[in-house]
Each structure stands twice: as structure tokens, then as C-alpha cells.
């Protein structure tokens, strides 16, 4: 299957109703509300990874684009797999899913020791969410709760390998996937902690665009270790499966922030044509090389702005901008506020 086909298939995972809702929310400047239902002995690392994507998404935007709440089933106190008691915001019974925007995405957080048995309160809540057309997801073995509610019939789902046999035996209408993550038809499931983060990033990308996801990866994936390596240099969340020529260009861009290379120079250094380079970026990153390079420089500038007392003029020059006015315009276009306003906002936080 080609990359273009994959992208078209994935773009269908959120239906027209959800797309209209997201559009309306954006126009009304309302954050997308995500509810996390915590099962007894839920995986703390899977849950925090999922939440961290939402919190980080808010950090890289000028105003919050996500809100999240935690929900218990039988009580407002839930014990995690680490033995830590977590006080939730509410219970599923007190959650009134009556209008779009009360909750927009509902995620069941499972874990290695979570029960796979049905719970009437949880099942009722999930069915109500599905009837409202919400996106419903499951982390780890949270897919079992969706299956009990009949929300995965005739669909593919991901779950922890230890739960595959249970799901196949008890829910013959669903297809258990060998993939670590499956998103489709307003359903999102994943197998464990790492894929929980990736699942949320995929959803964020669909709802808020690839620019936001790249900004989140800049922060959360800086220490990602390549498979079969003990240590790798700190990077900006590069995917090691990307073509070598594309990775080389991205590295050149990172190493030449203060004095940016032209697109022709980048292409020449890696032995490909400019047209080939543009196709690589569009196919794998859904951005032009110049846009990606600008994002690198802008995010580099933002770090300097918020983590140092350097003047805005010096930061602009250190980030490859010929003038502070050009830098300010680009910064405001990308982050929604001026450099001076961003620095002032951080001081107040």
C-alpha cells in the first residue's frame, strides 16, 4: 500500500460529523475536552503519556486547545498499577454526555492487572458516548471495555498481547490486530504505554494538524533511543524509519540554524535534486522543506526566548533571521503572539 493511500485511509477515521464539530469548536475557540476513565490498577505510565501529549499541545500554542478530566467508575478514588491512589474529577455516573462539547473524546485507561470483566456503569457510559458520535478509545486492555459495550463489532482493535486470546474468544465479531495501535471509525486503541502516546499524537494530528504534532515531538521525543542502540545523540524526535536522505537533510537543517542553508545547498549536500527533496518532505512530513526549516528555527528561537535573557534582536540573529521585525512576524504567525508577549506570558506563569 502506498503512503498516499495510507493517508487517505487514515483521513477517514474521523467522520464528517466530528470534522464539523472540530471546525465549529475552533471557530468558537473552545478547547477539545478529553475524558480519561481510570480502571482499577490502570497503567500510570500509559495514562501519563497520553495526558502529557495534551498538556504539551497546550504549551506550544498561544491558548489551551485541550482540556482533560479523570473519571472513576464506582468511586472517585482509583488505585494505579503503582499502588498510588488517584482522586478523579468525577465518576462515569455523574458524567452527563448530553451535548457535543461536554466531552469530545473518551478514553478507557487499562493496565496489566485490570479486570477484563464487564461493568454495567462503564458499558452504559461508553454506549452513550458512542451514540453521541464521540471518539472513544482504549489504552492497554481498555479495548475490552469497548468490546463489552459492542463498540468494536466488525472493527479492528489493538490491545496488549496478553489479552488477545481473551478478546478473540469472547468477542468473535471484532478483529484483534497485531499492530500496537489502531485508529478508525471513531475508535482508537493501543497495546501499551509507548503506543498510548503515539495514539494520542495521531488523534491530535487529525484534530489540530501536523504542525502541532511536530511541536509536541520536539519536546517529548528528544531522548528517544533507536532500536538496538544503547545511546544516541539527543535529537528532535526523528523517526529512524525515514529515508536516509531525508534524515540527512533534517540533520543539516538542525546543524545550520544560525546561518541557514538554501534549499539548493541542502539538496547538493545530500546528492539529490531539489524536486526530490520536496517530494520527500511532502510525502513523509506533510510539509515543504522551507516550512520545516522555518519551524526548526522558530522553535529554537522560542527556547532561547523563554530560557534566557538575551535580547529579541540577538535571538533573531541566532535563529537565522535577518531582522527582528521579520522574526517577530514569523513568530506571531506560528505561535499566535509576539516574542515579547510570549516572554511576558512565561514570566507570569
Q: How far apart are CA 205 and CA 53, in angstroms?
A: 11
User: Which residues does 45 contact at the CB level (< 8 Å), separation at least 6?
Assistant: 193
The alpha-helical segments, DSSP class H, found in the chain are 3-11, 16-27, 44-59, 120-131, 143-148, 164-170, 193-208, 210-220, 244-255, 263-270, 274-285, 289-307, 312-318, 324-335, 339-348
Whose cell is 489479552? That residue is 163
C-alpha cell at 171: 468477542
Ranges for all domains in the chain classified under CATH 1.10.10.60: 232-349
Q: How far apart are CA 183 and CA 157, in angstroms?
A: 8
- Which tops the pLDDT comparison, 327 or 309? 327
Q: What is the pLDDT of residue 217?
A: 85
Residue 279 CA to its chain's centroid (Å): 24
Ranges for all domains in the chain classified under CATH 3.40.50.880: 3-209
- Angle of CA points 187, 44, 13, to nearest 5°: 15
User: Which residues does 35 contact at the CB level (< 8 Å), separation at least 6?
Assistant: 68, 69, 70, 71, 95, 103, 105, 106, 107
C-alpha cell at 102: 461536554
Has residue 289 got a pLDDT over 90?
A: yes
Reported pTM? 0.66
Minimum mean pLDDT range among 10-14, 61-65, 116-120, 194-198: 10-14
Residue 297 CA to its chain's centroid (Å): 22
pLDDT band at 194 (very low <50, low <70, confident <90, very high): confident
Mapped to the 3 state alphabet, what secondary structure does 296-309 carry?
A: HHHHHHHHHHHHCC
Residue 286 CA to its chain's centroid (Å): 16
Q: What is the pLDDT of residue 305?
A: 85
**Are the beta carbons of 273 and 267 closer than 8 angstroms?**
yes
Per-residue model confidence as pLDDT tens digits over 260-275: 999 999 999 999 999 9
Class of the CATH domain delimited by 232-349: mainly alpha
Has residue 49 got a pLDDT over 80?
A: yes
Per-residue model confidence as pLDDT tens digits over 54-63: 999 998 887 8
What CATH topology corresponds to 3-209? Rossmann fold (3.40.50)
- Which tops the pLDDT comparison, 169 or 98? 169
- Which tops the pLDDT comparison, 220 or 142? 142
Minimum mean pLDDT range among 66-70, 77-81, 282-286: 282-286
Q: What is the pLDDT of residue 303?
A: 82
Q: How far apart are CA 322 and CA 22, in angstroms?
A: 38
Q: What is the pLDDT of residue 111?
A: 93
**Are the beta carbons of 215 and 257 closer than 8 angstroms?**
no
pLDDT band at 65 (very low <50, low <70, confident <90, very high): very high
Has residue 256 got a pLDDT over 70?
A: yes
pLDDT band at 100 (very low <50, low <70, confident <90, very high): low
pLDDT band at 334 (very low <50, low <70, confident <90, very high): confident
Amino acid at each position: 500500500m502506498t503512503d498516499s493511500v495510507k493517508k487517505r485511509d487514515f483521513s477517514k477515521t474521523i467522520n464528517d460529523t466530528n470534522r464539523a464539530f472540530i471546525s465549529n469548536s475552533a471557530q468558537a475557540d473552545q478547547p477539545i475536552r478529553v475524558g480519561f476513565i481510570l480502571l482499577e490498577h490502570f497503567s500510570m505510565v500509559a495514562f501519563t503519556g497520553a495526558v502529557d501529549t495534551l498538556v504539551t499541545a497546550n504549551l506550544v500554542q498561544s491558548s489551551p486547545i485541550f482540556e482533560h478530566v479523570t473519571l472513576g467508575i464506582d468511586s472517585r478514588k482509583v488505585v494505579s498499577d503503582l499502588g498510588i491512589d488517584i482522586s478523579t474529577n468525577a465518576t462515569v455516573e455523574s458524567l452527563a454526555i448530553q451535548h457535543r462539547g461536554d466531552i469530545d473524546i473518551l478514553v478507557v485507561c487499562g493496565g496489566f492487572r485490570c479486570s477484563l470483566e464487564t461493568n454495567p456503569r462503564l458499558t452504559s457510559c461508553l454506549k452513550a458516548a458512542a451514540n453521541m458520535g464521540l471518539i472513544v478509545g482504549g489504552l492497554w486492555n481498555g479495548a475490552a471495555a469497548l468490546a463489552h459495550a459492542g463498540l468494536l463489532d466488525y472493527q479492528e482493535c489493538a490491545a496488549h498481547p496478553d489479552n488477545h486470546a481473551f478478546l478473540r474468544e469472547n468477542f468473535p465479531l471484532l478483529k484483534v490486530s497485531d499492530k500496537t495501535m489502531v485508529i478508525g471509525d471513531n475508535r482508537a486503541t493501543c497495546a501499551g504505554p509507548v503506543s498510548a502516546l503515539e495514539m494520542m499524537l495521531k488523534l491530535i494530528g487529525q484534530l489540530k494538524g501536523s504542525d502541532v504534532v511536530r511541536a509536541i515531538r520536539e519536546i517529548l521525543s528528544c531522548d528517544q533511543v533507536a532500536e538496538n542502540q544503547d545511546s544516541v545523540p539527543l535529537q528532535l524526535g526523528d523517526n529512524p524509519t525515514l529515508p536516509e536522505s531525508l534524515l540527512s537533510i533534517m540533520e543539516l537543517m538542525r546543524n545550520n540554524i544560525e546561518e541557514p542553508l538554501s534549499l539548493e545547498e541542502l539538496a547538493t549536500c545530500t546528492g539529490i535534486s531539489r524536486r526530490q527533496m520536496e517530494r520527500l518532505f511532502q510525502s513523509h512530513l506533510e510539509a515543504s522543506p522551507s516550512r520545516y526549516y522555518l519551524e526548526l528555527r522558530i522553535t529554537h528561537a522560542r527556547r532561547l526566548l523563554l530560557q534566557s535573557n538575551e535580547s529579541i534582536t540577538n535571538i533573531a540573529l541566532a535563529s537565522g533571521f535577518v531582522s527582528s521585525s521579520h522574526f517577530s512576524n514569523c513568530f506571531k504567525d506560528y505561535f499566535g503572539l509576539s516574542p515579547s508577549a510570549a516572554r511576558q506570558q512565561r514570566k507570569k506563569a
